[in-house]
Amino acid sequence: MTGAAALRATHARAALGVTVAAVAIATLLPAPGAAAKAAVLAALVAVLGLPHGAVDHLEGQTLLAPRVGRAWWLVFGALYVAAATVVVAAWLLWPPGLLVGFLLLAAGHFGAEDVAADPAAPRGPLRVLEAGLRGAIPVLGPVLFHPERTGELFAYLLPGSSAAGVQAVLVPLAWGAPVFAGALAAFAVIAWASGRRGTAVEVLALTVAVGVLPPLLAFVVYFCLWHAPRHTLTVAARLSPADARRGLIRFARAAWPLTLVTIAAGTLAWWGLTGAVNAVPAAIATVFVGLAALTVPHVVLAALHARSHIATAT
Ligand SMILES: CC1=C(/C=C/C(C)=C/C=C/C(C)=C/C=O)C(C)(C)CCC1
Ligand SMILES: [Fe+2]
């Protein structure tokens, strides 16, 4: 039998090792081309990132089955697809609003899950502050540390905008980079001093990764190495509280069908888009607009789960 805490510790060590290796490789080798970065993004998000959301139906079953009975999956599927469709439609109608909303929601989701996986995290307002700061690393970090490259990527998600136009908005924000880096360094020092050494090292490593790596690769590092495996371990522990390894097997069995469906849908969307734009912008738009569409129902379910957890714990 394998305990959930032991698996979490193994994950943190492995993720840290790969993050440090990615930073070292990036400083030694020449930067990869745009097509290589987009291919790495699409492949790793599909294989390592998507499965953690492809088990949302388990949450849906817990919430809906007591209310609507055996047809829970029909109601769940309809609600999930409707939410995703509304996001894509709203994105087409008002792209800047949706992009900003997505970035804020993502930072909140990332931070909340990182803090939830950290038994030594504080409670109360300090917890919210810590979640905001940690969640901002993968989202605000690229904007502040690489405004030009991030502006180019955001432009792919804002139909009708130009890279120069978006960069003109982001580049003036770069004064915030040293402030943000300073806040993260201060957090790491406080975390270290209060005995949370793992958290301190993780925050420093992720800050350096976001500072050094191109935005797409930094996102892959955070999302595929830290966020998705962490969520996976949480779900695995829920599926088999006594034996986390068995929980992982159950997780894999539950995740593969919807992962494959989502990959197929994404490939179709990318193929459709390549008629209108080049393959690289089409891949980036497919990955991020697709993630945004799935993130809304995914985050709502994670929040509902956290709420029911608090309600049963108190
Ligand atoms: C678009 C874009 C970014 C933001 C991506 C986000 C915010 C993804 C969120 C995914 C989520 C929330 C998945 C759920 O589990 C970056 C990396 C800042 C820079 C490159 C372009
Ligand atoms: Fe997630």
Would the annotation count 146 as a binding residue?
no
Is 186 contained in some domain? no
Task: Please work out whether the CB of residue 103 comes within 6 Å of at least one atom of ligand 1.
Answer: yes
- Ligand 2 centre and the CA of 298: distance in Å? 7
Q: Does 189 reside within a domain?
A: no
Share of the chain above pLDDT 70, in %: 97
Could you tell me if 102 and 295 are in contact, meaning their C-beta atoms sit under 8 angstroms apart?
Answer: yes
**Cβ–ligand 1 contact at 279 (below 6 Å):** no
290-310 mean pLDDT: 83
CA–centroid distance for 102 within its chain: 11
| Number of structural domains found in the chain | 1
Per the structure, the complete domain to which residue 45 belongs is given by: 4-123+216-313
Known binder of ligand: residue 305?
no
Is residue 175 in a domain?
no
Q: Is the CB of 50 under 6 A from ligand 1?
A: no
**How many helices and strands, by DSSP H and E, does the chain display?**
14, 0
Distance, CA of 237 to CA of 58 (rounded, Å):
13
DSSP code of 314?
Answer: -
- Among 42, 60, 105, CA closest to 273: 42
Mean pLDDT of 30-36: 92
User: Is 170 a member of any domain?
Assistant: no
How far, in Å, from the CA of 250 to the mean position of ligand 1?
A: 28
> What does the pLDDT read at residue 180?
98
Torsion of CA 116, 128, 145, 101, to 10 degrees: 90
52 is in an annotated binding site: yes
- Residue 299 included in any domain: yes
Rounded to an integer, the average pLDDT of 15-39 is 95
Q: What is the mean pLDDT of residues 231-239?
A: 91
pLDDT tens sequence across 163-180: 999 999 999 999 999 999
Interface pTM (ipTM) of the complex?
0.97
Query: Is residue 134, in this structure, part of any structural domain at all?
Result: no
